[in-house]
Amino acid sequence: MDQSDVIVVGAGLAGLVAAAELADRGKAVTIIDQEPESFLGGQAFWSLGGLMLVDTPEQRRMGIKDSRDLALADWMGSAQFDRPEDHWPRKWAEAYVDFAAGDMRPWLHAMGMRWFPIVGWAERGGGFGSGHGNSVPRFHLTWGVGPATQEPFERRVREHSQTGRIRLMFRHRCSQIIMENGAAKGVAGEILAPDDSLRGQETNREIIGDFELRAAAVLVSSGGIGGDFDLVRQSWPTDRLGPAPKEMIAGVPAHVDGRMVGISQQAGGHLINSDRMWHYTEGVKNWDPIWPNHGIRILPGPSSMWFDARGNRFPPPALPGFDSLATLKMILDTGFDYSWFITTQKIVKKEFALSGSEQNPDFAQKSWKEVLRQRILNKKATPAVEAFKAHGENFVVAETLPDLVAKMNAMTGDDLLPLDKITAEITARDAQTDNPFTKDAQIMAIHAARNYRGDKFQRTAKLHKFLDPANGPLIAVKLNIITRKTLGGLQTDLDGQMLNAAGTPIPGLFAAGEVAGFGGGGYHGYNALEGTFLGGCIFSGRRAGRSDKIA
């Protein structure tokens, strides 16, 4: 006998959205998750809360002209779909852009969600209008960051839980999807011992029992693989990017382990585009870690100079905030798995932001007073950035360039960085700041950024000479590769129903969120435009939860 209409495996954002939508329709839902209740929301809680929205009031107030057609052109230029299995990912991409340009903002706004008025400009592109990147700013920072993106859905889920419509079962780890006559009929697995670890910390895997649950449908919303470096390396696209980095840091907690991908494959699900991943190049080791190998991404403005391990300046499009995947390849092509920012205190003050809700307490607490104090009227960088500058093992600070380079070489224990080469590059760059025109592509990009008043006001420092002591001190940051997102995933149709290797829907089996490549098995293609991870969890969870094919 079925105990529920639908079992949702994974209590992250996609699972919460799907469960809320299903319960609103009168469906009985059981949510299971291997982590404690305090982990509800998964990775969404730790996020900066950015959403890709299109043609919004926030954009129009900032003088941004956006449209569904421009956003779709940007998406397709970034995705570069080139495989037969990209049929469903392409349809999901088109559907998401329609959603982002249509119902998404009013629907979320009606649930109480709000956004910071300055729209961010992420992934500015690889150089051509037809290629990768956002033509205009589209990164809408949720007021309250990650926790505020999950709050409306968590509230709805808890309301349904109080009426008995939704049952929440934590420390229940799924190890099998029960299939009968080719249809999903439930799940089975292990009950894990209670654990009072703080949110995000690694929890125990002690088994104290087992369970079996029955339902008319199973929806998998268990996330990606970024917390398991072995799985990341197994899926690494060596043919496109070269060998995987020897050293990486983790941008996600250990529970982002990819277990349900293989379990779903055993049930007939079809994994596609597993070689498409999204890892950042501006990672720093967290001086106050929460999870194992905890890394934080620097969200840079466009002004820091970017050098490889031997002191060669990267050419475009390897500019801060422009083309993550191309920059990753350039770094790995050097034979090293790290690179360097060289920058100034003036740039760090205005341009350095850190990923993660815990690194942005002013936004998290929805405090306009603190936002103004820390980001607008500030004489230093935000307290979180200054803490990394003071305590982070990847930061070095010096008054002169010779001292800075000496400290950089000391950090890595070698003399790979030649002072004369770096001095010549920075001197040549500084000479380009005397006129409103330039041959330096990065300075062109800075001029373009400051034409957008949002960047000029908050995210892009006024051009200045690095070697002028008045702009110091000088700061260098050793940048690590930081794991983050799985772009490929379990193939689904537009209802979120899993497809088998023949492309046939599997009765009763669905997927949403990162485990489904955020829709279809990889709706980003090769590149992400940012704001599409949380956005994809919300969108794919909503579509599955509203499907008339489920339960």
- Per-residue pLDDT tens over the stretch 482-520: 999 999 999 999 999 999 999 999 999 999 999 999 999
Closest CA to 363 of 348, 380, 346, 376: 376
Question: DSSP secondary-structure letter at 182?
Answer: T
Handedness of CA 82, 88, 89, 90 (dihedral sign): positive
The mean pLDDT of 401-423, rounded to a whole number, is 98
Q: Please answer whether residues 54 and 101 qualify as being in contact, where contact means their C-beta atoms are separated by less than 8 angstroms.
A: yes
Instruction: Flag whether pLDDT at 324 surpasses 90.
Output: yes
pLDDT category at 379 given cuts 50, 70, 90 is confident
- Per-residue pLDDT tens over the stretch 83-96: 999 999 999 999 99
Q: In degrees rounded to 5, what are phi and psi of residue 9?
A: -100, 100
Q: In degrees rounded to 5, what are phi and psi of residue 158?
A: -70, -35
Closest CA to 145 of 379, 371, 391: 371
- Per-residue pLDDT tens over the stretch 14-26: 999 999 999 999 9
SS3 423: helix
**The predicted structure's pLDDT at residue 253:** 97
- Per-residue pLDDT tens over the stretch 228-238: 999 999 999 99
State the Cα–Cα distance between residues 533 and 513, nearest whole angstrom: 8
Q: In degrees rounded to 5, what are phi and psi of residue 469?
A: -55, -25
Q: Please answer whether residues 187 and 9 qualify as being in contact, where contact means their C-beta atoms are separated by less than 8 angstroms.
A: yes
Instruction: Flag whether pLDDT at 365 surpasses 80.
Output: yes
The mean pLDDT of 186-198, rounded to a whole number, is 98
Enter the tokens of residue 85. 């299995």
Q: In degrees rounded to 5, what are phi and psi of residue 133?
A: 120, 165
- Percent of the chain at pLDDT exceeding 90: 98
- Per-residue pLDDT tens over the stretch 236-282: 999 999 999 999 999 999 999 999 999 999 999 999 999 999 999 99
pLDDT category at 377 given cuts 50, 70, 90 is confident
Instruction: Flag whether pLDDT at 1 surpasses 80.
Output: no
- Per-residue pLDDT tens over the stretch 108-142: 999 999 999 999 999 999 889 999 999 999 999 99
Instruction: Flag whether pLDDT at 2 surpasses 80.
Output: no
**The predicted structure's pLDDT at residue 3:** 83
Which contacts qualify for 62-69: CB closer than 8 Å, 24 or more apart? Answer: 62/117, 62/118, 62/119, 62/137, 62/452, 62/453, 62/454, 63/452, 63/453, 64/119, 64/136, 64/137, 64/452, 65/136, 66/136, 66/138, 67/101, 68/97, 68/98, 68/101, 68/102
- Report if pTM > 0.95: yes
Instruction: Flag whether pLDDT at 157 surpasses 70.
Output: yes
Instruction: Flag whether pLDDT at 294 surpasses 80.
Output: yes
- Per-residue pLDDT tens over the stretch 208-221: 999 999 999 999 99
Amino acid at residue number 200: G
Amino acid at residue number 524: H
H helices present in 392-531, as ranges: 401-412, 419-431, 441-450, 453-454
**The predicted structure's pLDDT at residue 423:** 98
Average pLDDT, rounded, for the chain:
97
What counts of helices (H) and strands (E) characterise the chain? 19, 20
- Per-residue pLDDT tens over the stretch 425-467: 999 999 999 999 999 999 999 999 999 999 999 999 999 999 9
pLDDT category at 33 given cuts 50, 70, 90 is very high
CB-based contacts of 364, cutoff 8 Å, min separation 6: 144, 145, 146, 147, 357, 358
